[in-house]
């Protein structure tokens, strides 16, 4: 696979600020930011929210804030009251009311049958139909003594599949935060024809400065795709200090736009011609030597 057939589009990453322990407040903050983004010129085609934006980012909060997420394909107005969570319903409204594609960051998802909680990203088309669900595959369990310790697996279960979705402007791959450290996901998405890999995320002030930019540039250059991560803004009173610095990188590994740690929205144009020129000039996508490394998921070609 060398060139990709897709159309260029404009991306908006909403680095939400003023997030609190009130879900109602957080939904209102997100709604307002979506409306502001949609009123910008040129208008974005795809809007992205950050990781766990409706709840505090804390293992002991995930269950309380978790919601039921219906199946992919459920349309606007198809469900009765209570069949989906209030954040899901609000995200449908954000997409539909603003006629825009929405990657809804992530929220804690309740799976009642198995009594499990997932860190889940949902995607909506401009009609408010739920078109994709990605459950964070790699749970953020790390321990850097005295600096950053987190154990998502205390409450969360890891997802079991990879996720891409189609839009009129091209195929997009999804991951959530720590997922970016596992290069296979982006590589498989790129080989399936994705233009961009998009990760709602919430790095921290220890690992953010170490690896946030490096990981995104690496995934972009290795796979010759666009890469974007959307973080919440830093909140001085939060128990978890998000890094912020929402970022978009092009297929050459150039940083196109980067936020600071303040609340803001950043925009970038995803230029498919630039992606295809990069692939033509540096033809690594057609130079793979699977005969030399056959254990690398060749079946995804």
Ligand X SMILES: O=C(O)CCC(=O)C(=O)O
Cite the active site residues. 51, 136, 177
Tell me the helices (H) and strands (E) count for the chain, helix number first: 6, 15
Instruction: Using the rule CB under 6 A, give the single segment among 126-134, 176-184, 222-230, 254-262 that binds ligand X.
Output: 176-184
Per-position b or e across 274-300, b if 16+ CB within 10 A of its CB: bbbebbeeeeebeeeeeeeeeeeeeee
**What φ, ψ does residue 227 adopt, rounded to 5°?**
-135, 135
Q: How far is the CB of 121 from ligand X (least distance, A)?
A: 12
Rule CB under 6 A: choose which of 31, 43, 75, 181 binds ligand X: 181
CA 50, CA 105: separation in Å to the nearest integer?
4
CA 165, CA 59: separation in Å to the nearest integer?
29
The tokens describing 297, both together, are 């998921």
Instruction: Using the rule CB under 6 A, give the single segment among 4-12, 124-132, 156-164, 201-209 that binds ligand X.
Output: 201-209
By the rule CB under 6 A, 202 interacts with ligand X: yes
Q: How far is the CB of 140 from ligand X (least distance, A)?
A: 3
- Each residue 38-77 as x (binds ligand X by CB under 6 A) or -, in order, gives -------------x--------------------------
CA 22, CA 12: separation in Å to the nearest integer?
24
- Each residue 107-146 as x (binds ligand X by CB under 6 A) or -, in order, gives ---------------------------------x------
By the rule CB under 6 A, 177 interacts with ligand X: yes
By the rule CB under 6 A, 204 interacts with ligand X: yes
Provide the phi-psi class of 230: left if phi over 0, else alpha when psi is between -120 and 50, else beta.
beta
Rule CB under 6 A: choose which of 203, 228, 253, 275 binds ligand X: 203
Nearer residue to ligand X within complex by CB, 101 or 178: 178
DSSP state of 242: B
Sign of CA dihedral 45, 50, 52, 56: negative
Q: How far is the CB of 266 from ligand X (least distance, A)?
A: 19
By the rule CB under 6 A, 207 interacts with ligand X: yes
**Binding residues for ligand X, how many (CB under 6 A)?**
9
What is the DSSP track for 210-228? HHHHHHHHHHHHHHTSEEE
Q: How far is the CB of 19 from ligand X (least distance, A)?
A: 15
By the rule CB under 6 A, 157 interacts with ligand X: no
Nearer residue to ligand X within complex by CB, 51 or 67: 51
83 Cβ neighbours under 8 A, 6+ residues apart: 68, 70
Q: How far is the CB of 240 from ligand X (least distance, A)?
A: 8
């Amino acid at each position: 696979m060398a060139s990709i057939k897709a159309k260029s589009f404009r991306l908006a990453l909403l680095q939400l600020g003023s997030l609190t322990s009130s879900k109602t407040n957080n939904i209102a903050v997100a709604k307002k930011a979506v409306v502001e983004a949609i009123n910008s010129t040129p208008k974005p085609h795809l809007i992205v929210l950050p990781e766990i934006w409706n709840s505090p980012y804390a293992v002991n909060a995930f269950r309380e804030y978790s919601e039921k997420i219906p199946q992919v394909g459920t349309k606007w107005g198809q469900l009765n009251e209570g069949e989906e969570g209030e954040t899901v319903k609000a995200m449908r409204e954000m997409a539909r009311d603003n006629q825009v594609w929405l990657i809804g960051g992530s929220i804690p998802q309740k799976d009642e049958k198995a009594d499990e909680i997932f860190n889940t990203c949902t995607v909506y088309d401009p009609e408010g139909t739920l078109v994709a669900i990605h459950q964070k595959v790699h749970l953020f369990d790390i321990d850097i003594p005295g600096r950053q310790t987190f154990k998502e697996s205390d409450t969360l279960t890891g997802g079991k599949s990879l996720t891409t979705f189609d839009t009129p402007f091209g195929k997009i791959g999804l991951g959530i935060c720590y997922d970016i450290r596992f290069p296979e996901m982006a590589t498989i998405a790129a080989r399936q024809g994705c233009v961009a890999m998009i990760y709602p995320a919430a790095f921290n002030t220890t690992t953010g400065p170490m690896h946030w930019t490096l990981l995104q540039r690496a995934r972009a250059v290795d796979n010759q795709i666009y890469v974007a991560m959307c973080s919440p803004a830093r909140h001085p009173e939060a128990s978890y200090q998000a890094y912020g610095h929402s970022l978009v990188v092009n297929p050459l590994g150039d940083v196109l736009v980067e936020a600071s740690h303040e609340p803001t929205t950043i925009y970038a144009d995803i230029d498919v011609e630039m992606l295809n020129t990069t692939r033509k000039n540096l033809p690594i996508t057609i130079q793979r030597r699977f005969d030399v490394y056959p254990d690398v998921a060749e079946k995804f070609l």
